[in-house]
Structure 1
């Protein structure tokens, strides 16, 4: 079960719009193909209610309604009425899984809590709503009040419950405890379906999932990018990769090739950035930096493992920097279709190491310029130059740009308007290339960075990703003006193509 839209949305500062929730729900069920999704908590807000209604309407029309779940509370018929109005059919009832929570938060005796749960379950089933139960703080319950947990589970056996969900609410379990506690419960109640819900406070979420499944858990709860309260939940991509590689006897329906795409979409919607070193979905995790690794890959794939990027719709990259060796640089040059003699390759390698020492970001797109600079190559020269431009931005008027561009020594001038100054610049550029009957790459991503603590006059780095003839590449520009840095990045692109 993916719970990004419920537990994941409890990530500090994250709130999905109803449209975003619907889009993510559709992708999870139709492309990633998780079995179930938990999409909201009942009674939270009007926006949450509208989001649930939109998802259940789509799910009903497409045969997914019984795979859509909502967190509810022991509150008589209040949550049940909310569920009915929202069109949801599966409720995940939040109950107390530790004596500590029951005594100090609810201030109730076990028998009283159980009676109230039974009433809610009975009413829900009467209304045609399927019921699963969460044992909140279950992990602490197993550590400190095991008798209460088993008393509760004995009670549950007599209830029309489909699944019992065991959350490590505070992320306190070790892998050995996860195995021990789940084993004990599965063996004692062999006919009950148990889900395990791992949190990541000690960075043990994925390890605990693996041990939980080994112990006999029938279901696992995960989130995209490990989103969730505090340190987050066990991440979907990592857990699926681990299960596929280390427990092949366990089959899931999840499509690995879709994980990266949905991860990036959720990153965009949430504003919750994926760390570059996050397993499976991080930007750098399939990038070799050390020259010795690239050399080993070239000779006999010595640094390959089962965790291949192609499984997740990604490709292996070789970074350029101070630890780059010749093999790293050769790999990047080969991708650009460039071959160098041994002496020239040595000079380029040395230059890249020097740039890396200065903490310069060196990309594959920079290589032709480094080659041109270092060995004065006649093959790669600056054939396109943005000679002059006028950028205007006025209140209540569309931004406009006039450019003068030199291509193979011939000057062209064009004027265009756009939604912003850079958009106007691109529109003027398109006019030039249309006159030449040439195509331009498609801009697929546009990122702007300034140094941490940067002031208003700080340098601005613009990194643009382009798609051209089925290949993707990046160019970057550096300037104190954001639009000018983008223009510089675009000039690099024009020379590359």
Structure 2
């Protein structure tokens, strides 16, 4: 039966760690997993056990946390990987198969090899795990008749879920809608996960479209961390689900900012200031008309109050485009009432500094403009 509520699968500790130069040590992984659990993410893909005993030990430590999430191991289509996954103690395995002609050629495999391998690997995995998921790697570039045969066989052999991967991020929302519409029509009771990448900057849009077109779940990473341009950003997807009124689990949005900062610190990949939801400028306002309205009602130029995602307050910043309302409010909050001439002089001073330095002015800079003019 198709799940009525949509859900999320986080793969920060697997796909996210595959970003160039990123290394998570066990304490990092435990802290990130705990924060994802606090957010309410239903499933965590926590590693690739075939990497060896150290990876398995990290996975065992995460499993031992005994939190609310389902733990998943990512496996190649090999018995060895499934055996190592069993050793890690996870709840489920995701067995990945190449399904596009391009990937099959690169791996010296054939469509027949894929289907034949499923015949013995799925029963083998089902003897060890109650939950077995099957991944269709590079599904977005696969021939649809073969993809359909792959999905049909996976479900017939007992796979609980099929992951449809846009491995190099080449899809757009129209393509996503058409693909999941076709899959849902053919497999009305099938459980489908969508795994989008962000190579063309469409991962979040594709994720939301997939959920609205028949996918049951999305897998992504915190901050969109991952190979090349990364994965779908979990924080963007979860808030996109909320804004699009997609039925989902009860997520604790207030931990999002802390989670994002934690992953940025542990991965040593800092956030772009304009990163949606969690960037420093995501709730910052400079332009006069914007700040005037924001001071009356935040929702005039914000999709939601910043406190929803755990940010303490929005920022009214000062620069070339600052207007009267923000400058007047700034000084009024500090017990300084300005007349119209003073206000215009300070605005001119702020703009001169902003244009010469090409930066946002700090509160101290703004106060220095006042003191230099009037004290």
TM-score by structure 1 length?
0.70
The aligned counterpart of 2:328 is 330
Q: Could you list the runs of 4 or more consecutive aligned residues of structure 1 that deviate by over 6 angstroms after TM superposition?
A: none
Partner of 1:57: 64
C-alpha spacing 1:89/1:243, structure 2 compared with 1 (3 Å): closer
Superposition map of 1:4-153 within 5 A = 4-29=12-37, 31-59=38-66, 62=67, 64=69, 67-76=70-79, 78-102=80-104, 104-141=105-142, 145-153=143-151
Once the two structures are superposed, what CA deviation does each residue of 1:179-224 show, in whole Å capped at 9, x if it has no partner? 0001101110112100011111111111111211111101111211
Q: Does the aligned pair in 1 maintain the 2:283–2:302 contact within 8 Å? A: no
1:85-125 CA-to-partner distances (Å, cap 9, x unmatched) read 222221110112223322x1343333332222232221222
Contact 2:92–2:129 at 8 Å: present in 1 too? no
Q: Which structure has more strand as a fraction of its residues?
A: 1
> Which residue number corresponds to residue 368 of structure 2?
369
Matching residue of 2:248: 251
Whether contact under 8 Å (1:34, 1:253) holds in the other structure is no
Cα separation, 1, equivalents of 2:303 and 2:226? 28
Q: Which has the higher contact order (CA 8 A, sep 6+)?
A: 2
Offset, 1:302:
7.7
User: Which digits, 9 at most, give the CA deviation of each residue in 1:315-363, with x for residues without a partner?
Assistant: 2211111211221212333444443333322222221111111115411
Once the two structures are superposed, residues 430-472 of structure 1 have per-residue CA deviations (whole angstroms, 9 ceiling, x without a partner) of: xxxxxxxxxxxxxxxxxxxxxxxxxxxxxxxxxxxxxxxxxxx
Residue 301 of structure 1 and its aligned partner are, at CA, apart by 5.6
**Cα separation, partners in 2 of 1:258 and 1:167, compared to 1, 3 Å:** same
Map residues 193-204 of structure 1 onto 2, 5 A cutoff: 193-204=191-202
Asked if structure 2 preserves the Cα contact closer than 8 Å seen for 1:99 and 1:148, the reply is no
Q: Give the superposition deviation at 1:258.
A: 1.3
Corresponding residue number in structure 2 for 1:342: 340
Structure having the higher helix fraction is: 2
Match of 2:3 in 1: none
Q: Helix, strand or coil for the counterpart of 1:26?
A: helix
Partner of 2:163: 165
TM-score of the pair, normalised by structure 2: 0.92
Q: Which runs of 5+ in 2 are unaligned?
A: 1-8
Q: Secondary structure at the match of 2:10?
A: coil
Q: Distance in 1 between matches of 2:247 and 2:322?
A: 40
Note if contact 1:83-1:89 (Cα within 8 Å) is conserved in structure 2: no
Deviation at 1:307, TM superposition (A): 2.9
Is the 1:209–1:220 contact (alpha carbons within 8 Å) kept by the matching residues of 2?
yes
How many residues align? The count is 365
Can you list the C-alpha shifts for 1:14-40, whole angstroms capped at 9, x where unaligned?
A: 1111110111011101x1111111111
